[in-house]
Structure formats: structure tokens, C-alpha cells
Amino acid sequence: MIKIRRVTKVIALLAFTFFFSHVVFGADDNGPIPDKSEYNLFTPVPDDLMRSFATDRPTKSDSPYTVDAGHFQYEADLANWTYDNYNSAKTTSSNLLLGDPTLKMGLTRNTDLEFALAPLNIDATHNRITKNNTNGTGFGDIYSRIKVNLLGDDGGDYALAIVPYVKAPTASHEIGNGHWEGGGYMPFIATLPEDWTLDITSEVDILENAALNGNHANFQNLINFNHPMFSPDLTGYVEFWSDVNNDKNTPTQYTLDFATSWLVKDNLQLDVGINIGLNKAASDVQPYLGISQRF
């Protein structure tokens, strides 16, 4: 546990050093940036000025790029299954998400509005000793967020955004905790030599305690490397993610994540991935299959 925390701190320090040196001393030789200030939700950006298709999928890392003004995009799990085996308690739990879309709408040249829905959650817990089963099925919570790009939305070797969000407790008590929550995160992307890309995201959340008796801070950090595989339309990802919780009843989690995305067309992407728990607190495995499309 101590070694993993040290690795996380070293990664964060290296990421900050890279970001600072790249922004302050790095050069951007990608040409002039198009002026999109005249476009908005009701005056869409012309197709020939639209930026390359970018999604917040497939891994836990998010893109700092926004949807062009006047355009729409959805990103969804076709299926997302989480499995965990609590050996000490002889208990297994699973969660299945089907068709949980994130809907995005471009507002201005560097801002979009997003809603993340979970229409169908299927939770199941089984205790092998008591033979007790707990099941829950229903609509999940709704997450609303605004992404504001600060750097590199229309080109360059790096990009940065801020994304505040709020969670509305729309889920049933079998699925959610029934409390409003919120927070924000900062996704950062930088191009590296040999067609590698570095993604770093840091997040701060204000969450309800597991005992439902107040709020606490939660901190998520990840570092992601991705690279084209066999063709420019096929990309592979590897990612390390950590979740440090200030609630004494919610332990720290670490996962190692792998994924592949396929750009089928200019505005259509398919992906597949798996998240693997690195400690007992994290879920054992989380495989998923997804789709994203822009209009």
C-alpha cells in the first residue's frame, strides 16, 4: 500500500513537471487556430472547421476537448459489468450497466454541456455463508457537467480543460445513496514522441459518507498512455487509476486499466476495455463494450 502511494506521488510530480515545462517552454507548430467565436448552439460550426472526433471513452481518463458549437455527441456503454469477490466475508457482488449514455451538446467555441444517464442498473450481492441475496434494478443517478477548454481545443501539442459537475439523486434506494454530490476535474493531454499520447486527470469530489451522516472529500488521479495499433484508426490504452477517500468507511482503491478503440468512421467509434483491481478495496474486474457518435 505504501509503495503504491509513493508511486502515485512520483507520477503526480512528474506529470506536473512535464505540464509546466511543456506549456511554458514548448512550441506549437500546428499552424493558425481557426476563429470559431461567431458560432454557438444555434449557429453550428461548419463541417470543414470541426475538430477531430474526441471522446471521454474508453478508459476512466477524460478528454479536454469539447464538442463543437451546435453539434451533438453521445458516448455509451453497450454493456458494463463489474464483479467483486470479498473473500473475508465470503460475499460476491456484481453490477451490470446497459446503455448508459453521456449526452453532449456544444454551446460555444470552447464549452459543452453534458448529461450522464444510467437508465438500467442491475445490482446483485450474494453471501455464500448466509445464502442471503440482495438485488436491485432501476434507473441510476443523473450527472450534469460543463466542460470548459482552457488550452488546445483546436490544435496544438497539449490541451487542458476544467469540468465541474453535480449529481442529482434520481436513483432508487437500492441503487443510489439518495444524496446530492458534486465536484470537478481537470483533464490534460500532451503529445509525446513516436505518436504516444499522455493523459492525466485529477479530480476532487464532495461525496456523502458511507454511513449517510455527512460529507467528505474524495480524490481521484490517473495517468494514461495510448498509442496507435496497426493503423491510425485503432488505438491501445494503458492506465493507472487511484481513488483516495477521506471517509474512514471507504478505503483507497487502485486499478490498472486496458482498452482499445476503433474509429469506424470520422464520427463513429467503438471500444472495448477491462479495469483490473490492484488491491482488495477495488473491484476485481470490470469489462465493458462501448460506442460513441457525433452529429
Average pLDDT in the 265-289 region?
95
Give tens-digit pLDDT for 52-102: 999 999 999 999 999 999 999 999 999 999 988 875 555 566 677 787 899
* Domain boundaries defined on the chain: 2-294
Average pLDDT in the 25-35 region?
61
What was the pLDDT predicted at 58?
A: 97
Using the CB atoms, write b or e for 127-166: b if 16+ within 10 Å: eeeeeeeeebebebbebebbbbbeebbbebbbbbbebebe
Report the distance separating Cα 149 and Cα 88, nearest Å: 45
CB atoms within 10 A of CB 241: 22
Per-residue pLDDT band at 8 (split at 50, 70, 90): low
Q: Looking at per-residue confidence, does 33 or 149 come out higher?
A: 149
Contacts by 103-107, CB closer than 8 A, 24 or more apart = 103/72, 103/73, 103/74, 104/67, 104/72, 104/73, 104/74, 104/75, 105/41, 105/67, 105/72, 106/41, 106/44, 106/45, 106/66, 106/67, 106/68, 106/69, 106/70, 106/71, 106/72, 107/40, 107/41, 107/69
Average pLDDT in the 194-222 region?
95
Q: Looking at per-residue confidence, does 83 or 185 come out higher?
A: 185
Q: How many CA atoms lie within 13 A of 24 on its CB side?
A: 6
- Those residues whose C-beta lies under 8 Å from the C-beta of residue 57, and which sit 6 or more positions away, are 75, 261, 269, 271, 290, 292
- CA triple 162-256-87, angle to 5 deg: 120
**Partners of 124 in beta bridges:** 94, 135
* Span 2-294 CATH architecture: Beta Barrel (2.40)
